[in-house]
A and B are shown apart, each in its own frame.
Chain A
Amino acid sequence: MSTTKTSVKQQRAALRKAARNNKLLRSENRAAYILLIPSIIGLIFLTYVPLVEVLGLSLFDWRGVGTPNFVGLGNYIRLFTKDPYFVDSIKVTIFYSILAVFGSIIYSFIVALLLNRKIPARGFFRALFYLPYVLPAMAVYLGWNWLYETNYGLFNYLLSLIGVDKVMFIASKDMVVPSLALIAIWLSGNLIVIFLAGLQNVPRVYQEAAEIDGANAWNRFWNITVPCMTPIIFYNLIMSLVTNLQVVTPALALTNGGPGNSSRFISYVMYQYAFKDGKFSYACAISFVLFLLIAAFSSLLFLSSSSWVYSEGGND
């Protein structure tokens, strides 16, 4: 008798608990959706719908007014066969990205390694290397334009001290992209901070064990630090690649794509067609090719990652 009573009681309690849980779950659901309203609107209307629109518009001939005219792949065919700027802009953009990405990664990794040692005034040095990143891009390019000035600029003065002839940094076709990439490397303070965070998570035990076994600093670096850092290197590589393939500011701020077409990046070509000539749908085709290019490079990196990114006990 008493046992059945308690079991009924227990059942009731369990039911009540389930109902309460259910209610909790429902209110949790509701709270989540309310909190996510802004993000969901952003994802739909500012991200994924525009992506579909870019593809859709690129199949038409439309210059901002009038009825769009369906042309199928016409814009793409024109881009790759007749356009005077586009194919070169892909080469220029990839060249710039390779220099800027690898340069920034190497520079910021070295700085992070140095900052990770026992040094006085660490916070001060960290802030110093990070500083260029918070300066407004337009001002940075204006300032560097003066440093790069051919006759009286700082860099040619420094070169003259070691007996090198004057270099036209911005005004020559061969030098303009490397010169702009150097600015990008200087601006890469955010990578330093991320590398530094990663370095602080390299387990000390490995280092100490290797040291006891008599491994020298060089071996410890290549066999412990670098493998432990590969996930961070991968993250920085991919983020830096996505950013640099979209490069447009140096051309807008400084070079206007010149001299000739030597700094006419993909995004700058797109900007000119859309906002100078009003050829919106044609520019959309460029946007979509840029999207595919970035997707292709990112997938290549992801595919290659299994062979060089070291992960400890899977992902979390």
Chain B
Amino acid sequence: MEKTIDKTGVRIGMWIFLYSEIILFGGLFVLYAVYFHAFPDDFASGGKELNRIFGTANTLVLLFSSFTVAASITAIQRSKKIQSMTLLVISILCGLIFLINKYFEWGAKFEHGLYPNSEHLLEADPGFIIFFGLYYTITGLHGLHVIIGMTLLAISLVLVMRNRVSAERYAMLENSGLYWHLVDLIWIFVFPLFYLVL
């Protein structure tokens, strides 16, 4: 057997991993669908508590970072090492901005006493409690994925720097990119479901 790297095979493996991530979030979306069906009014009033500006800003940040990741792959394919590295740094910074935004958003909610099992929340309607339960679970899990994605991008950045990732061999960068796009993809659905359902 010749020992060339089968790039398509590596990509298939990565995609299969992404499917499992999609289904992982899928379980939560099942809960969302059922509870939204049960408490449409409470979900609307829950959505009003969230800050649409913050949400939109975060959406744009993630979309932009997805673009820079895709562009960094184009750069490496063209052997533009510095460009690729710059784009990756920008992507990681975008991830950081996203997390900082999220931190302030969560912090504001905590200050209003809206966190799981808080006294203030427990006085509210059941649907309202569930809305925030789902909000914290889904955005928390998503935030965790942002952190993992940033780590992967950072590893790719180092590998590009050391010429371990190059125009001939960039599976690692490509797979980290796929992971990052997935994080974006999930946010694309989370954003309207929580911030825009009014």
Interaction A to B? no
> Which A residues contact B (CB, under 8 angstroms)?
none
Could you tell me which B residues sit within 8 Å of A by CB distance? none
